[in-house]
Structures are given as C-alpha cells and as structure tokens.
Amino acid sequence: MAIEIERKFLVKGDSWRSLGTGKVYKQGYILTQNKITTVRARIVGDRGYLTLKGKIKGLARSEFEYPIPKEDAQIILETLCDSPLIEKIRYSISLNNLVWEVDEFTGDNQGLILAEVELNDENQYLKLPDWIGEEVTHDLKYYNVNLCQHPYKLW
C-alpha cells in the first residue's frame, strides 16, 4: 500500500519564487458517501491523473495515484467533479534532500499560498526554510478537497 506522510504550511514572503519553476494544475474532487475517502482527478500539463486517498491518521494516509488520458481527466473534471475546481501553480523546490511543493492558488482560492513536504517518517527532522510560516497540517480547511467546498475567497 502507498502511504503519504505530509506536512503543510502557510508561506510568507516571496523569497521562495526564485527557487523553483511552476506548473499549472487543475483538479477536482468527487465527493464520497463516507467523506473520509478522497477521489481526485487532476491535469498537469498534458497528463491526467486519478488519485484515491484514505483517512488521515496522524500525518499519514493511504494514497493511490494512476495516470489516465488527459482527455478522460478533462471529462471527469467537467462532468463528475464538484465545482469550483482547484486551479493553482505548483512550484517544486529541492532543499535539504526534500522536495517542497509550493502551491500558489488562482481562481476562487486566489491569494492563498501553501507549501507541503512529503516525509519518509512522521518523526523525521524537518529544517524549515525562512519562507515557511504557520503549520496548518491539521487544519482541514487548507486541504484542497475542502477548498473546493469552502474557497479561500469566502473566508
């Protein structure tokens, strides 16, 4: 089983911008009856993905991601996902043998910038860059699936 161990932070300042290049992401979510399992469709460039995520336990949860044709992902986003969709530019930044993913949201979540980092272990030491602000790992309103239902512009 694939396990994702992730921490999430607000970003402060702009010093991170020169450290990575961005890619446009468009993604949506299909609500599940149990509201614990997450089903996501995503387009990144010319690629589509379908992802299933399980219940969060501490910092970890199961995650299964599969490539699908971009055309299929587009149809899923247009016909099966709740709106608004998540639109963002994701910057990948390599620091201290880790990859930080900084998401600069657009659309209904314009103005929100989050950074997340995947870890090998929940207790892994993490040196925070100076552009990292408050940790929001356990604040569910910052999870993309919740940003669809309660966009940042409405906070």
Beta bridge partners of 93: 100
CA 15 to the chain's CA centroid = 21
CB atoms within 10 A of CB 54: 17
29 assigned to active site: yes
Token pair for residue 81?
């996902």
> Taking the alpha carbons of 153, 138, 7, 64 in that order, is the dihedral positive or negative?
negative
Active-site annotation, residues = 29
